[in-house]
């Protein structure tokens, strides 16, 4: 479930405002003054993808909560909604076109994310335990994708947003794994290395501040 494997085949040009080359995007600075901000294609690709990936997490959790009624899915879906908002801020700041053209549950512009959503929901509807494992898998994949995006940018505003998302994903993974293990099941890493997962689980819930990321 590598991030690049799930990238949509739509061209970058279809998701940008104005010229696709040069990648100059207008956005307000802290005083509201328009500034010219240059992004690489990779940075733009990551912002647009992350916007829909956060939607995928929200939508899967809402769907699984409807099926099982487990409070963790409702709680974390609200956090994912906030993450979607943070990514929308980035989309608007850099003058990009929001890929979330339909905010309905389970609807995606990215065809690969659409297929991933369908597969995750299918697995999560098998049992409540499967649903919890789906939640943990989503958070592991998110962390890998976020770290890759951090590695492809040196913009402090973008890195700050990604670090906040990373911290949230670590907390969400702890929540899902905690519920899995209360059911007497030892959790095994699904996307990250077991060493990385064990390190995250050994640390307490994080409150505010800047995330430490993952290297």
The answer to whether 72 and 175 have CB atoms below 8 angstroms apart is yes
Query: Given phi > 0 = left and psi -120 to 50 = alpha, else beta, which region is 185?
Result: beta
Which CATH number is associated with domain 3-202?
A: 1.20.1260.10
Residue with tokens 């770290």: 147
CA distance 83 to 3: 18
Least confident stretch, 7-11, 20-24, 175-179, 196-200: 7-11
Please state, in angstroms and rounded to a whole number, the distance separating the CA atoms of residues 164 and 56: 18
Q: What is the 3-state secondary structure (H, E, C) of the chain?
A: CCHHHHCCCCCHHHHECCCCCCCEEEEECCCCCEEEEECCHHHHHHHHHHHHHHHHHHHHHHHHHHHHCCHHHHHHHHHHHHHHHHHHHHHHHCCECCCCCCCCCCCCCCHHHHHHHHHHHHHHCCCHHHHHHHHHHHHHHHHHHHHHHHHCCCCHHHHHHHHHHHHHHHHHHHHHHHHHHHCCCCCCCCCCCHHHHHHHHHCCCCCCCCCCCCC
Q: What are phi and psi of 29, to 5 degrees?
A: -85, -170
Please report which confidence band the pLDDT of residue 20 belongs to, taking 50, 70 and 90 as the band edges.
very low
Q: Give residue 15's pLDDT band: very low, low, confident or very high (50, 70, 90).
A: very low
pLDDT digits (tens, 9 = 90+) for 40-63: 999 999 999 999 999 999 999 999
The pTM of this model reads 0.82
- Tracing tokens 């973008």 back to the chain, one arrives at 158
């Amino acid at each position: 479930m590598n991030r690049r494997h799930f990238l949509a085949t739509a061209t970058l040009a279809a998701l940008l405002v104005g010229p696709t080359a040069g990648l100059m995007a207008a956005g307000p600075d802290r005083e509201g003054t328009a500034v010219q901000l240059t992004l690489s294609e990779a940075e733009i690709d990551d912002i647009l993808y992350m916007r829909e990936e956060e939607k995928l997490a929200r939508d899967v959790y809402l769907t699984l909560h409807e099926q099982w009624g487990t409070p963790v899915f409702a709680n974390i879906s609200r956090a994912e909604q906030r993450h979607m908002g943070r990514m929308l801020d980035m989309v608007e700041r850099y003058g990009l076109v929001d890929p979330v053209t339909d905010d309905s549950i389970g609807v995606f512009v990215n065809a690969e994310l659409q297929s991933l959503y369908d597969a995750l929901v299918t697995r999560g509807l098998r049992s409540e335990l499967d649903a919890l494992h789906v939640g943990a898998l989503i958070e592991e994949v998110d962390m890998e994708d976020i770290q890759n995006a951090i590695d492809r940018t040196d913009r402090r505003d973008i890195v700050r947003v990604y670090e906040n998302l990373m911290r949230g994903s670590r907390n969400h993974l702890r929540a899902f794994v905690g519920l899995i293990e209360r059911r007497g099941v030892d959790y095994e890493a699904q996307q990250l290395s077991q060493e990385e997962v064990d390190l995250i689980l050994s640390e307490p819930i994080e409150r505010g501040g800047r995330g430490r990321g993952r290297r």
